[in-house]
Structure 1
Amino acid sequence: MNIVTTVNSLDPSDGGVPECVQAMYMHLAKTGVDVEIVTGRTHPDAPVLEPTHPNVTTTYATARSHIRRHAELWEALSRRLDATRPDLVHDHGLWLPSNIISAVETHRRGVPHVVSPHGMLEPWAIQHRGWKKKAAWYGYQRSILERADVLHATAPMESQNLRDFGLSGPMAVIPNGVPLPDTWKQEPSSGERRQALFLSRIHPKKGLPNLIEAWSRVQPDGWDLIIAGPDENDHRQEVAALVEEHGLGDVVSFPGPVRGEDKWALYRESDLFVLPTHSENFGVVVAEALASGIPALTTTGAPWSILEEEDCGWWVETTVEALETALSDAASRSDSERLAMGQRGRALVEEQFSWEHVAAELRAVCEWILGDVPRPDCVRFDD
């Protein structure tokens, strides 16, 4: 099987989509699929999360000008589609020129087209810069999604949100995967202090003002709060001002972006993961925290009801009061109770959210599109 995938960028600073694309195609390639990624890059030496597997190749459009880079991307995709004649094209994201280019070129050639919106039609996301997205929706984005052979949602909640936009075609519900670190938290924390961790983009969508307000009300004795991740639109300054306003400067810290082994070590050193988000199509950091053996606390803005179903965390409304109650409960648990919750979370990720499992399901969907196998259980229609 030969797949061409299109994505606006593989720059690690662009958040979860580049990380997802890198991991997805590394593991899909391991199943014997040949993959070519066509993407943009701000200049030839710009950082990228490029899959390193012999079955994966990457073609870059590298012009510094946005307009010229998009023109290069169009030319590159057209050349690669003519050269490789792929079985299908998988596009990532919405609203961007790369999505238009992918849709036009696949439609023109009659190549099957799969689209992963990556949460970009979630209620909070669609309201952010809403008038621009409304114009784009009626101008081109709706027709792209209606013509797609399959839409890929990462959770039933995202699938329903896509259905609410009137999209009735086949929908593959496949979670994002998470790498399983070889080392995870298997002993209770020692010493006098405990640590709660937020690790994600510092962005208004993530609900950090609510977390700071809830933390100021609980002020759990002997606990520190780490807020790690890249700053977007100077939101860190706003959050830091709230920290100072509530007198929490001694217990709240901002270490900045954390990646690689430093990231996994930070998970293991923590006793609780907190994501107070307003909206996530998946929330891969929740899965990473569970894979690291620590319980997670997130909101109904993320599709993680399984936290409570499997007793490995808390899933609460997106309000200060709900966060306050959950934080108080989490901090009052014994070290051994929190550790047991984390161990259940680790087992859950091993069973349902490994990249090997995700790659197998995605390959089955592609084979179904090509008529090679019966419809997988993860593909659903709007009945």
Structure 2
Amino acid sequence: MSVTKAKPIDAAILPGSISRFSGGLFTSVRRLSESMNDQGIVRARVIGNQDAHTDDDISAWRDSPLLLKSSRHRQRAREVLDWLLTNEPDLVHPQFIWSYGSMATLRWVQANPSRRHIISPRGMLDPWAVRNSRWKKQIAGMLFEHKHLRKAACIHALCDSEAESIRKFGLKNPICVIPNGIDIPDDCSSVRSELVNTNLFGRRDDPRQTMLFVGRIHEKKGLSQLIVAWKIARDRLNDWRLVIAGWDDGGHQQELEKTVKDLELSDAVIFAGPIYGEAKSAALMVADAFILPSFSEGLPMSVLEAWAYRLPLLMTAQCNLRIGFKNECGVEIDTAPEKLARSLIAFADLPVADRRAMGESGRSLVEESFQWSTIASEMSEVYRWVLGQRDAPACVQF
């Protein structure tokens, strides 16, 4: 007797930007959607807005997203709502809040209470993020966001600490805790030595070790405090250089460059600009350590990528990857410059063998716990539960 295969769940995924402009979401939402599609339980259809980098990055999406034509939030909300009403997906999954995706999803659900949606705030309900641009979020909350959040069938947290922030925000919805995933690169130890002398970050013959930051250059990343800390610890960091690679968000890099100049750190701090694809992979191979002194994160893809390339980590508790501290592949740092300076010195003084062991532990951690195939399976099962096709998975908290 033949077995009829169940029809895939039709899910509309709303990530906001579908380019590098969205930072880590460019990778995390794209790979989650692709991995769920590969497994056949879910048909994930992505709807995103256009921006200055869309033309450069849309080819990275294996399944081309639907691009919104409008530039204003209300018009984008109308476009999304029209699409939802015409196509009637089984559920909608916004990957950001405080914006047009929330407006459209709320109106779609209000039109028919049987409709279901899941929300991934991706760090946007963490205390620092809520305080940032507070008055704008208070207005958005009163107009649509609070209702959008309360009506969600489930809220997706990337880690337990984000789940705690969601509860502190006052939400009582079920929460599923599912981390981001990572694509594990081929073993890079054999090619690492060949890349050490490449001219990625300035002089080809620079003998210093490289501490690397890769990400959006924004005040929440703690880079101002890191530069001041580097000045405090400079005499003990002569064998190191700090490389800041990423795209400038709102002119913050100009402020950082002025600070570097004022503190006479131009020979120690290098701004490498945005790096993507092969250039990013090469940078991670060349680096000797990775740092993320952030005030607020959901679950940073950059940390998972650094571990995948066997880099020892320095990061704040706000990066929400305490498992890295537990598994001894990350060093916890503070954003206060004096404390951060002490951590930089202590890390630089570690034996090379100890730092390498930290990197190896990071690689083992992502191989065991952060594969996209596992993440996609867990999210697909949450979709099935929300739609009444199975009992609540173990990742769901009530």
What TM-score do you get using the length of structure 2 for normalisation?
A: 0.88
Q: Report the Cα distance in structure 2 between the residues aligned to 1:116 and 1:67, rounded to whole angstroms.
A: 21
- Alpha carbons 1:273, 1:294 under 8 Å: kept: yes
- Alpha carbons 2:185, 2:308 under 8 Å: kept: yes
Partner AA of 1:103 in structure 2? L
2:54 matches 1:35: no
Partner AA of 1:46 in structure 2? D
Q: Report the Cα distance in structure 1 between the residues aligned to 2:127 and 2:189, rounded to whole angstroms.
A: 35
2:364 matches 1:361: no
Q: 2:135 is matched with which residue?
A: 131
* Structure 1 stretch displaced more, 127-136 or 288-297: 127-136
Q: Report the Cα distance in structure 2 between the residues aligned to 1:193 and 1:205, rounded to whole angstroms.
A: 28
Deviation at 1:60, TM superposition (A): 2.0
Deviation at 1:357, TM superposition (A): 1.6
Q: 1:10 is matched with which residue?
A: 18
User: For residues 185 and 13 of structure 1, do their structure 2 counterparts lie closer, same or farther at Cα, with a shift above 3 Å needed?
Assistant: farther
Structure 2: unaligned runs, 5 residues or longer: 1-8, 198-205
Aligned residues: 375
Q: 1:177 is matched with which residue?
A: 181
Q: Report the Cα distance in structure 2 between the residues aligned to 1:354 and 1:315, rounded to whole angstroms.
A: 24
- Alpha carbons 1:224, 1:252 under 8 Å: kept: yes
* Structure 1 stretch displaced more, 241-250 or 57-66: 57-66
Q: 1:108 is matched with which residue?
A: 111
Q: 2:219 is matched with which residue?
A: 204
Deviation at 1:199, TM superposition (A): 0.7
Q: SS of 1:338's equivalent?
A: helix
User: For residues 43 and 275 of structure 1, do their structure 2 counterparts lie closer, same or farther at Cα, with a shift above 3 Å needed?
Assistant: closer
User: For residues 273 and 156 of structure 1, do their structure 2 counterparts lie closer, same or farther at Cα, with a shift above 3 Å needed?
Assistant: same
Q: 2:321 is matched with which residue?
A: 304
User: For residues 322 and 356 of structure 1, do their structure 2 counterparts lie closer, same or farther at Cα, with a shift above 3 Å needed?
Assistant: farther
Q: Report the Cα distance in structure 1 between the residues aligned to 2:270 and 2:52, rounded to whole angstroms.
A: 33
Q: Deviations over 1:96-150 (max 9, x none)?
A: 0121102211342322110001111111111111111112223321111111000
Deviation at 1:2, TM superposition (A): 1.9
- Alpha carbons 2:19, 2:54 under 8 Å: kept: no
User: For residues 374 and 203 of structure 1, do their structure 2 counterparts lie closer, same or farther at Cα, with a shift above 3 Å needed?
Assistant: same
Q: 1:91 is matched with which residue?
A: 94
What TM-score do you get using the length of structure 1 for normalisation?
A: 0.92
2:67 matches 1:63: no
Deviation at 1:165, TM superposition (A): 1.2
Deviation at 1:350, TM superposition (A): 0.8
Which residue among 44, 51, 55 is the counterpart of 1:46? Answer: 55
- Alpha carbons 1:155, 1:175 under 8 Å: kept: yes
Which residue among 117, 126, 148 is the counterpart of 1:122? Answer: 126
Q: 2:200 is matched with which residue?
A: none
Q: Deviations over 1:186-207 (max 9, x none)?
A: 7787984210001111101011
1:1-383 equivalences in 2 (<5 Å): 1-32=9-40, 33-42=42-51, 46-49=55-58, 52-53=61-62, 56=63, 58-64=65-71, 67-81=74-88, 86-109=89-112, 110-185=114-189, 192-219=207-234, 220-381=237-398
* Structure 1 stretch displaced more, 114-123 or 186-195: 186-195
User: For residues 130 and 309 of structure 1, do their structure 2 counterparts lie closer, same or farther at Cα, with a shift above 3 Å needed?
Assistant: same
- Alpha carbons 1:295, 1:312 under 8 Å: kept: yes
Q: SS of 1:46's equivalent?
A: helix
- Alpha carbons 2:180, 2:370 under 8 Å: kept: yes
Partner AA of 2:276 in structure 1? R
- Alpha carbons 1:217, 1:324 under 8 Å: kept: yes
Q: 2:202 is matched with which residue?
A: none
Q: Report the Cα distance in structure 2 between the residues aligned to 1:305 and 1:365, rounded to whole angstroms.
A: 24
Partner AA of 2:375 in structure 1? V
Q: Deviations over 1:46-83 (max 9, x none)?
A: 34446645xx46322223555544433332232222xx
Q: SS of 2:318's equivalent?
A: coil
Q: Report the Cα distance in structure 2 between the residues aligned to 1:356 and 1:116, rounded to whole angstroms.
A: 19
User: For residues 368 and 12 of structure 1, do their structure 2 counterparts lie closer, same or farther at Cα, with a shift above 3 Å needed?
Assistant: same
Q: Deviations over 1:253-280 (max 9, x none)?
A: 1111111111111111111101111111
User: For residues 45 and 214 of structure 1, do their structure 2 counterparts lie closer, same or farther at Cα, with a shift above 3 Å needed?
Assistant: closer
Q: Report the Cα distance in structure 1 between the residues aligned to 2:99 and 2:84, rounded to whole angstroms.
A: 15
User: For residues 354 and 374 of structure 1, do their structure 2 counterparts lie closer, same or farther at Cα, with a shift above 3 Å needed?
Assistant: same
Q: SS of 1:301's equivalent?
A: helix
Q: SS of 1:225's equivalent?
A: strand
User: For residues 43 and 320 of structure 1, do their structure 2 counterparts lie closer, same or farther at Cα, with a shift above 3 Å needed?
Assistant: closer
Partner AA of 1:13 in structure 2? F
- Alpha carbons 2:16, 2:22 under 8 Å: kept: no
Q: SS of 1:4's equivalent?
A: strand
User: For residues 44 and 20 of structure 1, do their structure 2 counterparts lie closer, same or farther at Cα, with a shift above 3 Å needed?
Assistant: closer
Deviation at 1:16, TM superposition (A): 2.1
Deviation at 1:370, TM superposition (A): 2.2
Q: Deviations over 1:213-251 (max 9, x none)?
A: 111122212111100000111111111111112211012
Deviation at 1:294, TM superposition (A): 0.4
User: For residues 45 and 87 of structure 1, do their structure 2 counterparts lie closer, same or farther at Cα, with a shift above 3 Å needed?
Assistant: closer
Q: Percent identity?
A: 33
- Alpha carbons 2:213, 2:292 under 8 Å: kept: yes
